Structure 1
Amino acid sequence: MTTLITNERDISALTADDVADLAIRLEQDDYTNPFEALKDWHLLRAIAFQRHELIEPYLYLLDIETYDEA
């Protein structure tokens, strides 16, 4: 995945391999600046909302907590 995903149409075109590449980058955490990592993290989060089936193996990277708001 070499281009920045910027809209729903792009996210709908992602494959499992694209998401795996994204997850590997996040796991390795070898970014030149923190903003690159943040972009990838936000992309993974966007994929989670739109294509949940693709990120199931990588949910731990999102560190999503469930809160009892009752």
Structure 2
Amino acid sequence: MTTLHVSQETISEMTPESVAELAKRLEQDAYDNAFEGLQDWHLLRAIAFQRPELATPYGHLLDIEPFDEA
């Protein structure tokens, strides 16, 4: 079993165009297997936490709901 590891360098090198391409793949959902889609989803999720300005337009693909801890 392989583990997905997304490095800081990978995320710091992402551009709005590369994130848009990632989101397009997720929206089309035309992967050969479910694990490829899951890898893209995890990458977009990591981008959302580390560089939210890039992932904000694609928040609907992450299905992350805000919560209040108060």
Do both share a fold (TM > 0.5)?
Answer: yes
2:18 maps to amino acid: D
Distance 2:69 2:54 in 1: 28
Structure 1 CA distance, aligned partners of 2:55 and 2:24? 12
Identity %: 63
Task: Name 1:10's counterpart in structure 2.
Answer: 10
1:67 shift after superposition:
3.6
1:62 matched residue in structure 2: 62
How many matched pairs?
A: 67
Q: 1:37 maps to what in 2?
A: 37
Could you tell me which runs of 5 or more consecutive residues in structure 1 were left unpaired when the two chains were aligned. Answer: none
Per the alignment, residue 23 of structure 1 pairs with 23
Q: Post-superposition shift, 1:6?
A: 2.8
Deviations 1:9-60 (A, max 9, x none): 1100110000000000000000010000000000000000111000111000
Check whether the contact 2:48–2:55 (CA below 8 A) recurs between aligned residues. Answer: yes
User: Where does the alignment leave 5 or more consecutive residues of structure 2 unmatched?
Assistant: none
